[in-house]
Each structure stands twice: as structure tokens, then as C-alpha cells.
Amino acid sequence: MQPKYKYDYIIAGAGCAGYSLLYHLLQDPILNKKKILVVDANFNKGNDRTWCFWEDQAGPFELIVCKKWSNIEVLKGTIQRLLPTAPFEYKMVQGIDFYQHISAFAKGFDNVEWVASKILSIDAEHNGAIVHWEGGAANADYVFSSINGERIQSTLWQHFKGNVVEFDVPVFDKSVARLMDFNVPQMDATAFMYLLPLTEKKALVEYTLFSPTILETAEYDLVLNAYMEEHYKGQAYTIVHTEQGAIPMTTKKMTSTISNVISIGTMGDAVKASTGYAFQFIQEQTQQIVNQLKLNQALDASVHYTRHQFYDAVLLYILEHKKMAGDEIFARIFKKNDAATVFKFLSNTSNLMEDIRIMLSLPTQIFLPAAIQVLFRR
Ligand SMILES: Cc1cc2nc3c(=O)[nH]c(=O)nc-3n(C[C@H](O)[C@H](O)[C@H](O)COP(=O)(O)OP(=O)(O)OC[C@H]3O[C@@H](n4cnc5c(N)ncnc54)[C@H](O)[C@@H]3O)c2cc1C
């Protein structure tokens, strides 16, 4: 007989994926009565990251979207590609607003309990799983885990440092999100400046690279300072916030093999390997888990399906083996396609014709051998 666990679900790790799962569980009229325990080593993360993503309608976090853009631009050399994003909007959510929004909502449920402690282990136990943390332990039917992100191994990383800068005078066009400006030192990698204007005076300016080695903070700063000097010469500004991070770009599986322990978020392979975008995949993954729990189905948290995983693997192969410079790849993709098609492709929602159109943006002599290599490696 299945033992009666104290909790139905334990959410191990309350970052993007843990909070998203909690949110979607509590939105459901049946599952929101389950006993849920949330364990995290750090509930005071502050504004540790901003999430950007695209949607063609109001999503579940519309209330906390702090800025939206309907135009993006990609710059390479003297070429500027300005693209309207309709029917999508490119949206930004601040980490701190997200954490506060969901924890405030969850405070209304006395079936949700919280433990602030470092998790030491998660193991299988009878027909459930047990979580040990510093100072205690508990078991549940299911544990949803997003911890151990720091143990990930990846040959390629998307790594970056960003400053939110504020000027006294208007300098930015707040209607355009600069998705990629490749006119920065490439560092033998794929590198670009990501510039998101929040107002005419304030913007997030982020130096981003796809490469095997994460830089020292001073190395990002050098490029950020030079970019500001080049573009806003002599104009005084203040850095009001910084963010720094590294996202694995890999198609290797990282998910738990322990029964009744379901990996979510980065550990649950929710990151799009070729771009580092994860926020919307995490929403899809956690909503999918809620739907499966509701229907008593076996839990399957995968969100990247074969066809799109294959494209990711091909793009990664081209980048890793330097078959073509990354700036050239992305510049071509944005030159030959509209933003909506690229967004659909990056969301894994494009159809086969659209996929082919994107892939044909790359020279056949580059794409084809890479595709064959990936096929034979599998
Ligand atoms: C700075 C930054 C900006 C990003 N921007 C974007 C973006 O714009 N768009 C996008 O789509 N994606 C973005 N990403 C990628 C991705 O969306 C995030 O990394 C996302 O936070 C991943 O969610 P997660 O829940 O897997 O991990 P996290 O959000 O990192 O959550 C993991 C949680 O586990 C806890 N934890 C870890 N170990 C333990 C332990 N042993 N015991 C207890 N608790 C533990 C941590 O405290 C944390 O709360 C960004 C990532 C970073 C780092």
C-alpha cells in the first residue's frame, strides 16, 4: 500500500521553474487544494535577472510585464535590419516582480508551506520521493526539482553581463529592442550587444557571447564601457543595476532518473539549446505537468520535440565547430525572414515550410554537412 506522505508535491528550488509550477498548480481549482512544500536555499534573490520572451496575446504574467516592444533590430557592419514583430510583442518581466507576484498569490493558500534551507539530497522512497535539507526532511508523492543548475556541464554557454544605464537626457529610441548588435569584439565566439530601452533615458545594455569559456567580469566591462563611449560619447550616465549569468547551450539530457522526481526548468531541459531562451518553455513545461497531474497521466516534462531538437543540434554543431561565424548565421536568418517566422521557429511552433525557409537562410554547403554529421552522431 502507498504510504501517506505529508505532502502531495514538493517543489525543490523556487526560481523561475519552481515558482511557475507553483503558480500554475494554484490556478487549478482541483490541484490548488493539494499539500505543497516549497524548499529553496534563497528566497531573497532580489532582482537577479530579467526575462524577455515573445507572445501574440496577453499571457499569465501580463500584469507584471514592465515593457513591451513591437519592433526589433539586428545590426551587423553598416547593415541595420529593423523588423516589426507583429503579431508578437517582445516583453520583459523583472525577476523581483515575478518572485513577489507569485509568492504574494501563494500566501493566500494555507496548504502551501515554505522551507528556506539548502537541499542536500533527493531520493526515491516507496512510491514517492524524499527531500533532505539542512535541518530536516519530508516526503511527497512527487518532487519537482530545479536545483543543481550549477553542476551543469556544457561545451557552449550563453554568458553575459548587463548594465541598466540611466542618462539625464533622452538618448534611446524606446520603441525598438536591439536584439543583436554584432558590431562588438567577437572574441573568437559569437558576440553581440543586446540593448533594451526601458525609457528614452534608461536601458539594459548587455554584452552577450556564445562560447565555451565564461569571461571575467572585467572583460565584459571593458566591452560595455567601450560601447557606451562609442555610442553616447561624453554623455554622463549612471549604472543603476547589473545582471550577469551563464546559460548552458546543450542538447544533452540533464533530467533526473529517479522515479517520482521530475526535473523542471534548466535541469528539466527547458532551455532552448541554440538561443538560451527558457522563460516561455518553462511556462509550457509547468502547465503541461499541471494538465498531466489533473488527468492522472504519467508525467512527461519534455518541451523540445525531435524536429526542433535536431535544428538546435545542427546550429550548435555549426557554432561549436566554427563552420560559420555565429554573427553571419543570425544576421542571415534575420535578413531573409520576418521576425514573426523567426520567433515561431525559436518557439518550436513553426511549420515544416517555415523551418525550411529558415534553414535555407544558411548556405547549403554549411548546413547540409552539419545536418548529416548530427544525424550520424545520434
Ligand atoms: C541573468 C539571467 C537572465 C536570463 N534572461 C532570460 C531571458 O531574458 N529570457 C529567457 O527565456 N531566459 C532567460 N534566462 C534563462 C532562464 O530563463 C533562467 O535561467 C531561469 O531562471 C531558469 O529557471 P530555473 O528555475 O531552472 O533556475 P533558477 O531560476 O536558477 O532556479 C533554481 C532555484 O533553485 C535554488 N537552488 C539551487 N540549488 C539549491 C539547493 N541545493 N537547495 C535549495 N535550493 C537550491 C536556487 O536558489 C533557485 O531559486 C536568463 C538566465 C539568467 C541567469
Q: Is 278 in the pocket of ligand 1 (CB under 6 A)?
A: yes
Omega within 30 of 0 (cis) for the link into 185: no
Q: What is the pLDDT of residue 30?
A: 95
The closest-lying atom of ligand 1 relative to the alpha carbon of residue 42 is 47
Contacts of 343 (CB under 8 A, 6+ apart): 54, 85, 88
> Cell triple for residue 21?
509550477
Residue 147 backbone dihedrals phi, psi, to 5 degrees? -85, 175
247 CA → ligand 1 middle, Å: 9
Mutate to test the pocket of ligand 1, among 10, 145, 146 (most ligand atoms within 8 A of CB): 146
The widest CA-to-CA distance across the chain, in whole angstroms, is: 73
Encode 205-217: b = buried (16+ Cβ within 10 Å), e = exposed: bbbbbbbeeebee
Alpha helices by DSSP H, listed for 30-76, are none
**Which residue reads 509547468 in cell numbers?**
286
Going by CA atoms, what residue is nearest to atom 31 of ligand 1?
Answer: 15
38, 39, 147, 348: residue to mutate for ligand 1 pocket, most atoms within 8 A of CB: 147
Predicted pLDDT of residue 241 = 97
Provide block-wise average pLDDT over 10 residues at a time, the chain (378 residues). Answer: 76 98 98 98 96 97 98 96 97 98 97 97 93 96 89 90 98 97 93 98 98 96 97 95 95 86 96 94 98 96 86 91 91 94 93 91 88 80
Distance 159 CA to ligand 1 centre (A): 13
Global pTM reads: 0.95
- Helix, strand, coil % over all residues of the chain, rounded to 5: 35, 30, 35
pLDDT of residue 128: 94
Which residue bears the cell 517543489?
11
Nearest protein CA to atom 32 of ligand 1, as residue = 15
Does any ligand 1 atom lie closer than 6 A to the CB of residue 251? no
What is the reported pLDDT for 149?
65
Compute the distance from residue 16 Cα to the ligand 1 centre, in Å: 6
Cell output for 189: 565566439
**Helices and strands in the chain: count of H runs, count of E runs:** 9, 17
Residue minimizing CA distance to atom 30 of ligand 1: 15
Q: What is the pLDDT of residue 378?
A: 56
Q: Which of 10, 133, 266, 286 to mutate to test the pocket of ligand 1 (most atoms within 8 A of CB)?
A: 266
The Cα 310–Cα 302 span in angstroms is 15
The answer to whether the CB of 49 is under 6 A from ligand 1 is: yes
E strands, 117-248, in order: 119-125, 128-133, 136-145, 157-167, 176-181, 190-197, 202-211, 237-248
Could you tell which of 11, 22, 23, 40 is best to mutate to test the pocket of ligand 1, judged by most ligand atoms within 8 Å of the CB? 40
Minimum CA distance residue for ligand 1 atom 7 = 51
Q: Would you state the pLDDT for residue 1?
A: 46
CA distance 64 to 282: 17
